[in-house]
Structure 1
Amino acid sequence: MGEHEPIRTIDLAQWRSHERPGQVAADVDASLREAGFLLVRGHGVDPDLRAEVRGAAREFFALPTPVKERYSVRIGGRGWLPPGVEANGNVEGEPTPPDLKESFAVGADTPVGDPEIDDVWFPANVWPAEVPALGDAVREYAAHMRRMSDELLALCASVLGLPATTFDLLTRNPTWTFNINRYPPLTEVGEPAPGQFRIGAHTDFGTVTVLDREPGAGGLQVHTDERGWRDAPYDPDALTVNIGDLLAHWTGLRWRSGRHRVLPPQSGAPAEELVSLVWFYELDHDALVTPLGPPVGTRDDLEPVVSAPFLRERLDAISVS
């Protein structure tokens, strides 16, 4: 009998309709315990919209560097993150080379009226005038991602025997970031440095990450205790979902924050260029997350944390000085 795939596929439409609720819950629980990842069908996000966002992003990334530099920001900003500003592997405690990617970042644009908070968590989004289609497509996509993320959190609460409304008071004005990542080809970046990846090994920081990705030779890998590093399964009709440190903490580490990386460009596919749509969902900046103790959680010694400082510590760790 072959080894089982730790990353299960679930159908949100089945959960909405209460079809096979026990099986859906069992698959979610097992997959998040073993890998911290799920493949999610029935999400309701039109593939044409996903293609529209990706196409507009490719137009932006194809602009001359001096044009993109008008929108250049550091991690946490809204705009273009150039190559070399991010090293996700640093969050695991060892210095790593910068990630081989460039990104365009947008985020929650719903200020609370306190400049010290708004400047960090709710800065205004910046839309490149050279690609007018990008703003409308991303705004529509973000609305779908917000809906889906709230639905995923309701599902997670229900799986653990809690009311589906558990997260409602923690997501009244949530922080979120949407990164469109471009992974350039080997022909553009040259031979990677030792230990250099398109994205180094890390876990995400928030609650749920929703990923629309393109498969490739230099694509996503997921780490589990049983199998080590393996290529992530891919389904063109599904979105890839993983949970982050904040949600894992809330479960008392019953569920794992999915450890993953994106391989460097491969010599066997030197012209491969991939574009990923990566939605990071968090909570309200001042949300207090109190871990679940046994028998739901596995630990009874974890302290409550506040969302903003919990996330800030991790974001600072991946920023290249």
Structure 2
Amino acid sequence: MNETRDPAPEHGPAPTTGLAIPTIDLARWRSDGPDARRATAAAVDTALRTTGFLLITGHGLDQDLRTRIRRTARTFFALPAAEKQPYATEVGGRGWLGPGAEANGAAEGTATPPDLKESLSFASEEPTGDPAVDAEWFLPNIWPHQVPALRLDVQDLLTALRALSDSLLELLATTLGAAPDRFTRHTAHPTWGFNINWYPGTRTVGEALPGQFRIGPHTDFGTVTVLDRQHGKGGLQVWTDPAHGGTGWQDAPYVPGSLTVNIGDLMARWTDGRWRAGRHRVLPPPPDAPAEELMSLVYFYECDPGTRIGPLADSHTYLRAQLNAINPGRPA
């Protein structure tokens, strides 16, 4: 088992500010001088102590590639349910998460209706050689035969997303004043998940029930999440805690070409609570735009199985429990 422990961070109460989500240019971060890098690190630290969110530019992800993936995935989601059913899976699996398959608000212990979305879900699949670990975390992905172009495009994007996620972890380590490999020394063979989330309009999903969202309120479970989202009225909202100067739910800022990054529960624990996991939700189809349709590409980065993080003896015991919690088909 990998042993990790952060030194006790020197910090007082979280800054009392509202929606502090800075835009960080990774290309400039790599080329800036010491003074500019310190200013960037201070902005990152403030954001992660309040909302847990950043916007990232200079990330190098191919826009045409992401556009193709959305177009191909839309072809799949438009198929009749009977054609998608052979790919049906549960949360944490590989394949199609259909209507009613996920309820993210349950991760907070809240009884919640299922999320108003469908997903194509992929995850880490390169075996480690440990049969028990591989059987739980490194199974082959499922590729729908109706959209053969999806496989190569998604695999290309996944390669870029893993490299980007390690770069983000290096940025976070540097922000803390630690060695750049503070976190990436525990991502030699990490787990990850990748979802193509389709948020259809009211005609497809029906009117939202009380307390029902495209994605219910929650924090992510891993280290960093990289989100390529589309702007819309029924879009992403971020929680700003009134106890720390926030005002509750606010629409997340949107900068064309940027990626939205938030930290998850594992990273919050890895910093002994200095940083807070970014709580968020995705609104249901808006009443004044019921036909609105959005699609997000979401990469959930974690760490090597068995990593010890703060009070968690095994990061992946925690991850499995959280994945089970948001699966409406599993008993609480």
Query: What TM bracket, shorter-length normalisation?
Result: over 0.9
Within the candidate set 198, 205, 208, 1:182 is matched to: 198
Structure-2 residue corresponding to 1:10: 24
Contact 2:106 2:325 in 1 (8 A): yes
Secondary structure of the structure 1 residue equivalent to 2:302: strand
Structure-1 residue corresponding to 2:14: none
| Cα distance, 1:4 vs structure 2 | 6.1
Point out where structure 2 has 5 or more consecutive residues left out of the alignment: 1-16
Structure-1 residue corresponding to 2:277: 257
Structure-2 residue corresponding to 1:23: 39
Structure-1 residue corresponding to 2:295: 275
For the structure 1 residues 74 and 304, does the alpha-carbon distance in structure 2 shift closer, same or farther, using more than 3 Å as the test? closer
Alignment of 1:75-154 (within 5 A): 75-154=91-170
Q: Distance in 1 between matches of 2:100 and 2:106?
A: 13
Structure-2 residue corresponding to 1:210: 226
Structure-2 residue corresponding to 1:307: 315
Structure-1 residue corresponding to 2:257: 237
Q: Distance in 1 between matches of 2:227 and 2:134?
A: 26
| Cα distance, 1:218 vs structure 2 | 0.6
Q: How many residues align?
A: 307
Secondary structure of the structure 1 residue equivalent to 2:238: strand
Q: Distance in 1 between matches of 2:165 and 2:110?
A: 31
Indicate whether 1:66 and 2:66 are aligned: no
For the structure 1 residues 266 and 164, does the alpha-carbon distance in structure 2 shift closer, same or farther, using more than 3 Å as the test? same
Measured against aligned partners, the alpha-carbon deviations of 1:228-278 in whole angstroms (never above 9, x if no partner) come to 100000011210000000001001111110000000111100111110000
Q: Distance in 1 between matches of 2:226 and 2:91?
A: 19
Contact 1:102 1:181 in 2 (8 A): yes
Contact 1:76 1:120 in 2 (8 A): no
Within the candidate set 27, 32, 45, 2:48 is matched to: 32
CA RMSD of aligned residues (A): 1.2
Q: Distance in 2 between matches of 1:172 and 1:22?
A: 28
Secondary structure of the structure 1 residue equivalent to 2:303: strand
| Cα distance, 1:304 vs structure 2 | 4.1
Structure-1 residue corresponding to 2:186: 170
Q: Distance in 1 between matches of 2:196 and 2:106?
A: 21
Structure-2 residue corresponding to 1:300: none
| Cα distance, 1:5 vs structure 2 | 4.0
Contact 2:100 2:116 in 1 (8 A): yes
Secondary structure of the structure 2 residue equivalent to 1:236: coil
Secondary structure of the structure 1 residue equivalent to 2:71: helix
Alignment of 1:34-49 (within 5 A): 34-49=50-65
Secondary structure of the structure 2 residue equivalent to 1:144: helix
Contact 2:239 2:250 in 1 (8 A): yes
Within the candidate set 265, 282, 285, 2:305 is matched to: 285
Contact 2:19 2:51 in 1 (8 A): no
Point out where structure 1 has 5 or more consecutive residues left out of the alignment: 291-302
Structure-1 residue corresponding to 2:176: 160
TM-score, with length taken from structure 2: 0.90
Contact 1:149 1:281 in 2 (8 A): yes
Q: Distance in 2 between matches of 1:15 and 1:304?
A: 32
| Cα distance, 1:118 vs structure 2 | 1.5
Measured against aligned partners, the alpha-carbon deviations of 1:36-85 in whole angstroms (never above 9, x if no partner) come to 00000110111111111111111111122111111111111111011101
Secondary structure of the structure 2 residue equivalent to 1:278: strand
Secondary structure of the structure 1 residue equivalent to 2:262: strand
Secondary structure of the structure 2 residue equivalent to 1:308: helix
- Counterpart AA for 1:10: I
Contact 1:183 1:274 in 2 (8 A): yes
| Cα distance, 1:117 vs structure 2 | 1.8
Secondary structure of the structure 2 residue equivalent to 1:241: strand
Secondary structure of the structure 2 residue equivalent to 1:179: strand
| Cα distance, 1:169 vs structure 2 | 2.4
Structure-1 residue corresponding to 2:324: 316
Measured against aligned partners, the alpha-carbon deviations of 1:67-104 in whole angstroms (never above 9, x if no partner) come to 11111111111110111011000111121000000100
| Cα distance, 1:116 vs structure 2 | 2.7
Measured against aligned partners, the alpha-carbon deviations of 1:87-131 in whole angstroms (never above 9, x if no partner) come to 000111121000000100111111123333222211100111110
- Counterpart AA for 1:42: G
